[in-house]
Chains A and B, each alone.
Chain A
């Protein structure tokens, strides 16, 4: 069983049934960063709300080590602690909290340095990825709690490299796109799917200022041009695009906005193995 951008909704669909029961993830042999962040948000929220879900974590040692090195234990107290030696994994950029806009540029620089420490990257694609991170990271403090209703508004980001791609995931448990857009006059009463469509394809935002919005549309265009994968999930809808398909689909309810950006390594000029696979360091 794999927990990925394409499969995590199957887990979210059955999660409410497991309140007070045991969720068995022992057979999971792969987790991508998008699914990891959703696990962190879902189980972190369940712990805060004292919803008793007992999780049987993956028994696959490589998956355990990777999840630990990516910092899942920092977000989900029930995740088992690993022995220090097991911190040596292929993890690239562990889960990082994003709460204040003042911290965004520093966090983006840290992500970029983590990637460029592992690979000699070419300029323009690296700068494009920096722009993507700047926009996605700042969306969390800008929009995730636009109604002011959350006590601890924050988001998470993580990044991982694979044989064929670089994978960036950004997620929050905030008010979501529909609630955000409803703050704009005339845009209340929308479904999650329509709100996603308006924001990603039409470039709308909660502001009427014509300079606001359009960033997710630009990122979607970039990912499409680079033959990557782009997913934006909010509420009960998910927009999914890859080289073969693209559209907005129904999804089980989940708060906030979760985004996956998977880009082929070739756009970064990476055709060599990593230059450094030393243990990773958490961004402070």
Chain B
């Protein structure tokens, strides 16, 4: 896997207490500009450092809406990850992601969490990909003790949600083969 270019986007530059949908629209334009400025593969960390209040409306416009476009593959091999000093601060964002049926990785307390809904088998799979950094579906299925097809379903969904990355490593039988990698880096 190529090294990811990383950028940091600070929500606090729009205020400590954000805010309205109108303010969120302005933040979204800036966030998408920062995202598209990254080379592929690229990871933009959306930092909530310095933010006291993140309203649902602002969070939806500024973060959840661009994330839905990212999940619709509008921005190529790029990823968004939230970083927050306090999980409660991202609570309304989590609800907006839930409304949009999305889930997003969130760095908190030197660990990670998932904002939005993610069933426990998917979370287990995500955890293993993050732990290993990079892994094939075959190795992952063995480690999880599940059938290969079931594993492909899980990593396919995680990849579609932009929670993990994938790269082609040739073909295996009639289908292309992929290696799946953590978007959190080393």
Indicate whether A218 sits within 8 Å of B22 (C-beta atoms), given known contacts A138-B57, A210-B101, A212-B60.
Answer: no
Does B88 have its Cβ within 8 Å of any Cβ on chain A?
yes
Q: When the two chains form the complex, which single residue of A123, A127, A134, A203 contacts B57, counting CB atoms closer than 8 Å?
A: A134
Note all chain A residues with C-beta closer than 8 A to B53.
127, 130-131, 134
B60: nearest residue on chain A (CB-CB)? A211
In Å, the complex CA distance between A105 and B22 comes to: 10
B20 and A218 form a contact (CB under 8 A): no
B20 CB contact (under 8 Å) in A138, A203, A210, A213: A138
Task: Given the known inter-chain contacts A108-B17, A211-B65, please indicate yes or no for A131 contacting B101, CB distance below 8 A.
Answer: no
Per the CB 8 Å criterion, the residue count for chain B at the interface is 25
Mark contacts of A19-38 with chain B using CB atoms, 8 A cut-off: 1 yes-contact digit, 0 otherwise. Answer: 00000000000000000000
A142 at the A/B interface (Cβ < 8 Å)?
A: yes
**Does B57 lie within 8 Å of A135, measured CB to CB?**
yes
Is A278 in the interface zone, CB < 8 Å from B? no
Residues in A whose Cβ lies below 8 Å from that of B92? 131, 218
Q: Is A49 an interface residue (CB 8 A)?
A: no
- Interface contact B21-A101, CB-CB below 8 Å: yes
| Interface flag for B162 (CB, 8 Å) | no
Q: Which A residues, 180 to 226, have Cβ-Cβ distances below 8 Å to chain B?
A: 203, 210-215, 218
Chain A interface residue number, banded? 20 to 34
Interface assignment of B42: CB less than 8 Å from any CB of chain A: no
Q: How far, in whole Å, are A53 and B95 apart by their CA atoms in the complex?
A: 47
Q: How far is the CA of A134 from the CA of B59 in the complex (A)?
A: 12
CB distance from B15 to the nearest CB of A (A): 7
Q: How far is the CB of B29 from chain A (nearest CB, A)?
A: 16
Tell me how far the C-beta of A113 lies from the nearest C-beta in chain B, rounded to whole angstroms. Answer: 11
Closest chain-A Cβ to B182's Cβ sits at a distance in Å of 27
Report the bound CA distance from A273 to B21 in whole Å: 36
Interface flag for A109 (CB, 8 Å): yes
Residue on A nearest B58 in the bound complex, by CB: A134
Chain B nearest CB, measured from A227 CB (Å): 20
Contact B17 A142 (CB under 8 A): no
Asked if B65 and A127 make an inter-chain contact with CB atoms under 8 angstroms apart, the answer reads: no
- Known A-B contacts A124-B88, A131-B55; A211 and B23 likewise in contact (beta carbons under 8 Å): no
Closest 9 CB pairs of A and B: A211-B60, A134-B55, A138-B20, A101-B22, A127-B53, A130-B53, A131-B55, A104-B20, A210-B100
10 more CB-based (< 8 A) A-B contacts, given A213-B99, A218-B92: A109-B17, A127-B53, A130-B17, A130-B52, A134-B57, A142-B21, A211-B60, A211-B64, A214-B56, A218-B95
